[in-house]
């Protein structure tokens, strides 16, 4: 699966007031600016538009509303993930900088220039809660991939990024018993028994990772299906991994949806959980999750996790 991860570095040209969690703000600004850039009919909704099948906007931003096939095939996920800064800072002065990450998957890797242009438009319009017109304006200072700069701010030139291949994970040799710390950096939302869940045992974590792999593979028209023998072995091993420490908590936050004209509650689990068992067998699955996020609303940056081993 094709994959790009870049960081946007921005400098404010006027004071700004941002929400403590900035993922919703950035995703909203992206959607508004991207639609403004590419929409030819200026309709409020894409449904029923004669250009929907060929328009770039639903393909890049509204893919979550496009079915992956007939019958009960699940909906395609958005092919991107915004990673907002993890600080809770809200007040910014003119001249201050802020940064955020952007991850693109599958066909979206071909359209980085459109994401860049959309955020440039957002900068001219302004971000955040504006008490006065013109607040929250910013300009792109740099776009970086790893240690390399991809953007010349003086000429507004974007250099081609390095497209990586995100390999599909497989089960590894079991190994010795060890501890694995999982830090949920942004709210993780998922359902169990048709309701939002608040317990994250290891088999549940693996189900979420596999669900994410399946949804991203669907962007390429692929079906990720483990052989029955490996599937049974994976969950037999996962069932033997126990929770050593659980400091997870529920964190509520809300966002206003301009499209739906309503306030949405998007709380989820944050904090740390530590597992004990043969965690090394799942190393490739865990690495995939740390890159791609898991759970609902990943395009907002939800479901970000940091995983690392600990002394047993």
pLDDT in tens, 21-48: 899 899 989 998 988 888 888 777 777 7
3-state SS, the chain, equals: CEEEEEEEEEEECCCEECCCCCHHHHHHHHHHHHHHHHCCCCCCCCCCCCCCCCCHHHHHCCHHHCECCCCCCCECCCCEEEECCCCCCCEECCCCEEEEEEEEEHHHHHHHHHHHHHHHHHHHHCCCCCCCCCCCCEEEEEEEECCEECEECCCCEECCCCCEECCCCCCCCCCCCEEEEEEEEEEECCEECCEECCCCCHHHHHHHHHHHHHHHHHHCCCCCCCCHHHHHHHHHHHHCCEEEEECCEEECCEEEECCCCEEEECCEEEEEEEEEECHHHHHHHHHHHHHHCCCCCHHHCCCCEEEEEECC
pLDDT at res. 68: 43
- pLDDT tier for residue 257 given thresholds of 50, 70 and 90: low
Q: Which residues contact 15 (CB under 8 A, 6 or more apart)?
A: 91, 92, 93, 94, 135, 136
- pLDDT tier for residue 195 given thresholds of 50, 70 and 90: confident
pLDDT at res. 65: 42
Average pLDDT, the chain: 89
- Work out the percent of the chain whose per-residue pLDDT is above 70: 91
Q: How many CB atoms lie within 10 A of CB 310?
A: 13
pLDDT at res. 126: 93
pLDDT at res. 134: 84
pLDDT in tens, 89-145: 999 999 999 999 999 999 999 999 999 999 999 999 999 877 677 899 999 999 999
- pLDDT tier for residue 258 given thresholds of 50, 70 and 90: low
Q: Which residue in this structure is represented by tokens 């936050």?
A: 253
How confident is the model over 154-180, as a mean pLDDT?
Answer: 94
Tokens of 274: 């530590």
Determine the Cα–Cα distance for residues 1 and 222; give it in Å rounded to an integer.
Answer: 10
pLDDT at res. 129: 78
- Work out the percent of the chain whose per-residue pLDDT is above 90: 67
**Domains of the chain (ranges, CATH numbers):** 2-165 (3.30.70), 178-310 (3.30.70.1900)
pLDDT at res. 53: 79
pLDDT above 90 (res 88)? no
Answer left, alpha or beta for residue 156, where phi above 0 means left and psi between -120 and 50 means alpha.
left
**Residues 75-87: b if buried by 16+ CB within 10 A, e if exposed:** ebbbbbbbbbbee
pLDDT at res. 262: 65
pLDDT in tens, 229-247: 999 999 999 999 999 999 9
Flag the least confident range among 39-43, 70-74, 244-248, 274-278: 70-74
- pLDDT tier for residue 12 given thresholds of 50, 70 and 90: very high
């Amino acid at each position: 699966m094709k994959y790009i991860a870049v960081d946007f570095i921005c400098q404010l040209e006027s004071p700004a007031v941002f929400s403590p969690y900035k993922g919703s703000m950035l995703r909203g600004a992206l959607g508004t600016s991207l639609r403004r850039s590419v929409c030819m009919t200026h309709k409020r909704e894409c449904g029923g538009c004669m250009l929907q099948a060929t328009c770039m906007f639903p393909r890049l931003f509204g893919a979550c509303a496009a079915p992956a096939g007939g019958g009960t095939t699940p909906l395609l996920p958005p092919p991107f993930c915004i990673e907002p800064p993890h600080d809770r800072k809200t007040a910014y002065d003119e001249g201050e900088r802020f940064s955020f990450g952007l991850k693109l998957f599958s066909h979206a890797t071909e359209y980085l220039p459109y994401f860049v242009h959309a955020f440039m438009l957002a900068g001219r319009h302004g971000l955040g809660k504006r008490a006065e017109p013109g607040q929250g304006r910013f300009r792109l200072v740099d776009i970086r991939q790893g240690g390399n700069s991809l953007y010349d701010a003086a000429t507004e030139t974007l250099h081609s990024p390095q497209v990586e291949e995100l390999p599909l994970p497989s089960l590894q040799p079991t190994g010795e018993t060890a501890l694995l710390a999982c830090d949920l950096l942004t709210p993780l939302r998922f359902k169990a028994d048709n309701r939002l869940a608040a317990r994250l045992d290891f088999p549940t974590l693996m189900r979420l990772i596999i669900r994410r792999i399946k949804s991203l593979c669907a962007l390429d028209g692929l079906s990720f299906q483990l052989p029955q023998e490996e599937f049974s072995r994976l969950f037999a091993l996962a069932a033997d991994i126990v929770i050593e420490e659980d400091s997870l908590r529920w964190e509520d936050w809300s966002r206003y949806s301009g499209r739906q004209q309503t306030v949405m509650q998007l709380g989820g689990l944050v904090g740390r959980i530590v597992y004990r068992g043969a965690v090394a067998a799942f190393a490739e699955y865990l690495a995939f999750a740390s890159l791609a996020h898991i759970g609902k609303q990943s395009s907002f940056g939800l479901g970000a996790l940091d995983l690392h081993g600990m002394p047993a």
